[in-house]
Structure 1
Amino acid sequence: MARFSGQIAIVTGGSGGLGAALCKALVAEGAKVYATAFDQSRAEQNGRTALAAEAGIALEYVDIRQTAELQEWVGSVRRREGRIDMLVNAAGVCPLDDWRDVTETMWDEVFAVNAKAVFFACQAVLGGMIERGSGAIVNVGSVAGFNGGLVTTPAYGASKGAVHTLTKWLAAKAAPSGVRVNAVAPGPFRSAMTDAFTPDMRERLSRNTPDGKIGEPEDVVQSILFLVDSAASGHITGTTLDVCGGLYMR
């Protein structure tokens, strides 16, 4: 039997490279997945192609920056299915602007997606999970939340640091009820974001990463699957798993 057979999962950022790969992996393991897409045109495009064509994946446009919209969507999934077994907050934005060019609008945008939406998505599912006495949440942080980021804007590292701290707070709150909250902290991996890196950025990251390479989405996906799998990680909560080839040491 598939390890997540019959479970209901929600994934924010389901139309991104990591999110789409994760959705497919969860379905392959038996879960039914509801996922958000931040960009409506991308949601519609993916709805006509590979992602939504996968049996068991429902991809919907949701502006997760708008708390009421995000929480209404989560509530609609719960009403439809009766419960939510797992949440993965995979949505994120990562401007590469120089720190001198950071504006208030940019800062607010990064925090709205990377940190605020994480909390309010967790808030929307935790009540039901705590009441049932089971559930798993994984928040996607970043190695930049520990080392500040080698090539990213400071708002990105600061927002991901907030995710790591929030994960610990929520884990402590939920643990007595049997609900686990963890995070992963990826380093750079092959994605639309890293495709935008300049050759100098890539060289700097490779030089500073002990294993000398940029990761693959599957590296992060497998780490998330481990953390949502209570049979494999049932005694793990409040932790952030580094998936970065050792870059956190730099």
Structure 2
Amino acid sequence: MDFTGRTAIVTGGAKGIGRGCCELLAQNGANVVIADMNLEGAKEVEAALCEKGLSAKAVQVNVKSVADVRNMVKTAAGMFGSVDILINNAGILHTTPIEDVTEEEWDNIVDINLKSVFFATQAVLPYMREKQYGKVLNLSSLAGRNGGIANGLGYSATKAGIIGLTRGFASRLAKDGINVNAIAPGSTDTGILDTLPQEKIDDLVSKIPLGRFGKTEEIANVAVFLCSDEAAFVTGAVVDVNGGMYFG
């Protein structure tokens, strides 16, 4: 894969799958914008990549804010000339039982996990349409496929919504030379699992046919491939990367 001359924004790029995507994109020549609420963490990734002679810049963004998202895209284009790739990775998990979910919690997870995907994609369209080229990759989840196992329904609903957005964007933007795809990871060894009690983690592992959690680099490999020219004839796809937990 060769991303020389391409500029990529990765939301939630300071850790986990997002960081893995940033590293792989940069290693293959992309200018990478590490967009995260955690600016210190994003700067750590920037420093690690720049130390290797790679092109990276940290940008702080609150993906709940449409104004922040638009500024993120404008900043990235100002630094590197345009935006060619967007990976909508930012997201949060919740495990609140149905009876205990509040309106505030529901709105928060919808804003972070789903609203941000729509408005970040909207914001990059002028740059991609101008070049008649673009790649958008959305992070859904196994929970968006099957309703979830250990997570709350707000998480499942937002990740299912991402699948709908992916297919809707793909059909509408194909004429503009823009590929839009998603991946649906299963349980992956990232910090997000730290919010789960050990008994739930053990139960999750027991349900994975391959017998282990996915690794962040394994998820990033598929995500970045879908952003490459090698996947130029793929759009509207949702690729399951979950150790055999779901066959879609």
What TM-score does the superposition give when structure 2 sets the normalisation length? 0.93
| Superposed counterparts of 1:100-111, under 5 Å | 100-111=99-110
1:1-250 equivalent positions in 2, closer than 5 A? 3-39=2-38, 43-47=39-43, 49-55=44-50, 56-230=55-229, 232-249=230-247
Stretch moving more, 196-205 or 97-106: 196-205
Shift of 1:36: 1.2
Is contact 2:10–2:86 with CA below 8 Å preserved after alignment?
yes
> Secondary structure of 2:240's match?
strand
- What are the superposed Cα offsets for residues 13-72 of structure 1, whole Å, 9 maximum, x if unpaired? 011211112111111111011121113xxx22552x354331211112111101011112
Instruction: Give yes or no for contact 1:89–1:138 (8 Å, CA) kept in 2.
Output: yes
Query: For 1:30, what is the secondary structure of its paired residue?
Result: coil
Letter in 1 for 2:232: G
Q: How many residues align?
A: 244
What is the aligned-residue identity percentage?
34
Q: How far apart are the structure 1 equivalents of 2:231 and 2:45?
A: 30
Separation (CA, whole Å) in 2 of partners of 1:93 and 1:198: 16
Equivalent pair of 1:24/1:51 in contact (CA under 8 Å) = no
Secondary structure at 2:33 match in 1 = strand
Q: How far off is 1:249 after superposition?
A: 4.6
Answer yes or no: is the 8 Å Cα contact 1:142–1:184 preserved in 2.
yes
Amino acid at match of 1:235: F
Cα distance in structure 1, aligned partners of 2:94 and 2:46: 26
Rounded to whole Å, the distance in 1 between the matches of 2:47 and 2:163 is 30
8 Å Cα contact 2:15-2:41 kept in structure 1: no
Evaluate the alpha carbon distance shift between residue 80 and residue 146 of structure 1 in structure 2; reply closer, same or farther with a 3 A threshold: same
Partner letter of residue 166 of structure 1? L
Deviations 1:149-204 (A, max 9, x none): 10001000000000010000000111112210000100011011113322221222
Asked if the contact 1:184–1:243 (Cα under 8 Å) also holds between the matched residues in 2, the reply is yes
Is residue 167–residue 181 contact of structure 1 (8 Å, CA) maintained in 2?
yes
Give the letter aligned to residue 161 of structure 1: A
The CA deviation at 1:215 is 0.6
Is contact 2:20–2:217 with CA below 8 Å preserved after alignment?
Answer: yes
SS in 2 for 1:97: coil
The worse-fitting range, judged by mean Cα deviation, of 65-74 and 125-134 is 125-134
The one-letter code of the counterpart of 1:24 is E
Letter in 2 for 1:52: A
RMSD (Å) for aligned C-alpha atoms: 1.6
Whole-angstrom distance in 2 between the partners of 1:153 and 1:125: 31
Deviations 1:192-243 (A, max 9, x none): 111332222122212222222211001110001110011x211100011100
1:84 touches 1:125 (CA, 8 Å); kept in 2? yes
In the alignment, the residues of structure 1 paired with residue 224 and residue 200 of structure 2 have an alpha-carbon distance, to the nearest angstrom, of 30
